[in-house]
Amino acid sequence: MSEVKFSRRDFLKLTAFGAAAAAGTRLVKEAGASSAAPGGEHQWAMVIDQSKCTGCNYCTLACQAHNDVSPQNQWNVVLQAGEVGGHQVFLPRPCMQCAKAPCVEVCMVGASYYRDDGIVMMDYDKCIGCRYCQAACPYQARVFNWEAFEGSNPAVPEWGKPEVERRPRGVPEKCSFCYHRIDRGLSLGLTPGVDLQATPACVNACPTGARIFGDLNDPESNVSKILKEHFSYRLRDDLATGARVYYLPADPKEMDVEVES
């Protein structure tokens, strides 16, 4: 070891370099918006009333059309979730738009990120297709484009017209709360959740009104009122993901009334 001297000075230099590198990383982290906790003027949320859901899948079809989703990939799914009082219960599952989204935390390039209004977005031009987000999502809300979606969309035009660009092969995609409808509606002075043009397609398509959409920051919005008055739950709340999709559990009494009427 006598040939090469590794002096204390060298060691200090190296340590200083390491500290500088760490500090640099820290700065980059603070500058990056992707990991910042969302907190804007609006906080969009969805309430799904399981007493009203009949499992008709209109929401899925409207979603497929408006977001131009391939029939193999579904952003929204309707699952059978057991029985209550002799009634089949359904559970529609869009993306939960988590406040602490596992997919955003793990995305190496920051292609998944939060908007100020809480929507978890995908930058399809940034994504490299590593699929770590799929491994991280507890809700299987992400679907990968294993192949390019070519040809016509069977849900169009019956269920609506495409409003966003098709995603390329090799990136995962997911529900975005129809952010484009919200943005366009707000710019026209409309209220998302009230005016159809500014509301997600699945909410508009629901024939029983099982889906309610609105702003959590507005105490007068439908979602704020309903969440104040009713018992609600969120999926996998134990994981503390801070989901923005709330469910009103199926109430057999309410379901009986609906069947009679």
Partner 1 sequence: MIANLRAKFPALNPWMLWLGFLSLLLAIGLACGILIFWKGLVITNLTDLVPWGLWITIDLSSIALSAGAFSLCAAVYLIGLKRYEPVARTATFIGLTGYTMAMLSLLLDIGRPDRFWHAVVYWNTHSLLWEVTMCVVLYLTVLVLETMPILANFEWLKSRFPKLAARMSRVHHYAPYLAIAGLCLSMLHQSSLGAVYGVLKARPFWYKPEMAVLFMFSAIVGGISLTVFASMLASRLTPRARVNDALLERVAHFVGWALVPYLYFRAWDWLAMTYTYQPGRTEGLEVMTKGPLSFNFWVGEILLGAVVPLILLLRQRTRQNRFWRMAALALVVGGVIAYRWDINLSGFLVIVSYLPGEAVVSYTSYLPSLVEIGAGLGVIAFGLTAFSLGVRYLRVVDHRYVAEARETVKKEAPETVPV
Do residues 94 and 245 touch, judged by C-beta distance below 8 A?
A: yes
- Contact with partner 1 (CB under 8 A): which of 39, 40, 129, 209? 129
Least distance from partner 1 to the Cβ atom of residue 126, Å: 6
SS3 label, residue 174 = coil
Least distance from partner 1 to the Cβ atom of residue 12, Å: 13
Q: What is the footprint of partner 1 within residues 190-219 (CB under 8 A)?
A: none
Q: Which helix (H) or strand (E) holds 26?
A: helix 8-31
Residue 227 has which token pair? 């969440």
Q: Does 128 bind partner 1 (CB under 8 A)?
A: yes
Least distance from partner 1 to the Cβ atom of residue 72, Å: 9
E strands, the chain, are 44-49, 77-84, 87-93, 112-114, 120-122, 143-144, 172-173, 211-215, 245-248
- Contact with partner 1 (CB under 8 A): which of 12, 23, 29, 154? 29
Q: What is the footprint of partner 1 within residues 61-100 (CB under 8 A)?
A: 79, 81-82, 91, 93
Closest Cα to residue 75, out of 59, 89, 91?
A: 59
β-pair type (120-122, 143-144): unpaired
- Contact with partner 1 (CB under 8 A): which of 142, 174, 181, 211? 142
Residues in touch with partner 1 (CB under 8 A): 1-4, 6, 10, 14, 18, 25, 28-29, 32, 34-35, 79, 81-82, 91, 93, 102, 105-111, 126-132, 134-140, 142-148, 168-172, 233, 235-236, 239
